[in-house]
Amino acid sequence: MPERTYSILVVEDDPAVRNLVSTALESRCYRHTAVATGKAAIASAATSDPDIVLLDLGLPDMDGVDVIKRIRTWSNMPIIVLSARSEDADKIEALDAGADDYLSKPFSVGELLARLRATERHLGYREEDALPQRSVFTNGGLVIDYAAGIVTLDEAPLHLTPMEYKLLCLLAHNIDRVLTHQYILHEVWGASQEGDLASLRVFMGTLRKKIEDNPSRPRYIQTHVGVGYRMVRV
Ligand code: CA
């Protein structure tokens, strides 16, 4: 089967960044369309049904977050936000609105292409979701047997608390995606105890001690300072 070519919708009003992104995409033979406004982005997303959207948040006619919200009313197409640096609140808002990932500006072409590849892998998994759900998750030496509720690392069984297990499964289910603190708290602790960031940090610390060779330089679970956590495919 020939390798699939993904189509990308680029939404960016800054011509310099738009050209940089277009050139990078052309170098890897991506099909792509570039638009400069939120309205054009929504129209293009609806008519051309791209595989992945690269979205700037600061657009001349509307907020990028509102573009995400609009697209999410009919589509789960992956959206990667291109965000200005050190605006954590904007990134969190965008991820909570339904963005799949973000890149801080200025970003390198190498990182952009790597994020696209990660998103493509994720798309591949989504297509597989139509098949019966896999009951075993594998990432490097980490194996979660969901049916049995057993986690092993390099074939040695891990003894996780129920909370650590829940946290690990949530990250594994969303591999390669940044999960915000708010989202994790809501999913693991439920709405009743939202906002307990300190507990999340404690559980993340104990989980890392169990799954990371060097918890201060984690391999499996990345920290996105001020935003949340991501399980990385190793
Ligand atoms: Ca902009």
Do 70 and 107 fall into the same domain? yes
Same domain, 123 and 137: no
- Choosing from 103, 127, 151, the residue where a domain stops is 127
Residues of the chain with pLDDT under 50: 1-2, 130-133
Ligand 1 center–CA 7 separation, angstroms: 22
Q: What is the CATH number of the domain that holds 28?
A: 3.40.50.2300
What is the distance in A from the centroid of ligand 1 to the CA of 176?
A: 25
**Shared domain check, 138 and 123:** no
The strand ranges marked E within the chain are 7-11, 31-35, 52-56, 79-84, 101-105, 136-139, 142-145, 150-153, 156-157, 178-180, 221-224, 228-231
Give domain status of residue 2, yes or no.
no
pTM comes to 0.61
Number of domains in the chain: 2
> Which amino acid is it at 71?
I
Here the tokens at position 130 are: 């139509």
Distance between CA atoms of residues 107 and 84, nearest Å: 10
CATH number of the domain within which 217 lies: 1.10.10.10
Helices 162-173 and 181-189, axial angle in degrees (round to 10): 130
By residue range, what is the domain housing residue 119?
A: 7-127
Q: Burial code of 132-150, b = ≥16 C-beta within 10 A, e = fewer? A: eeeeebebeebbbeeeeee
Q: Ligand 1 centroid to 48 CA: how many Å?
A: 22
Task: Tell me whether residue 15 is in a domain.
Answer: yes
| Distance between CA atoms of residues 161 and 203, nearest Å | 9
Q: How many CB atoms lie within 10 A of CB 177?
A: 20
Residue 169 C-alpha to ligand 1 middle, in angstroms?
36
How confident is the model over 140-169, as pLDDT tens digits?
A: 999 998 767 789 999 999 999 988 998 999
Judge contact between 109 and 20, C-beta under 8 A: yes
List, for residues 105-142, the tens digit of each pLDDT value: 888 999 999 999 999 888 876 665 544 445 688 999 99
Measured in angstroms, how far is the CA atom of residue 11 from the centroid of ligand 1?
9
Q: Which two tokens stand for residue 68?
A: 């995400």
Distance from residue 195's CA to the centre of ligand 1 (Å): 31
**Of the candidates 106, 127, 148, which is a domain's last residue?**
127
Confidence (pLDDT) at 131: 43
Q: How many CB atoms lie within 10 A of CB 77?
A: 17
- Distance (angstroms) between ligand 1 centre and the Cα of 220 equals 33
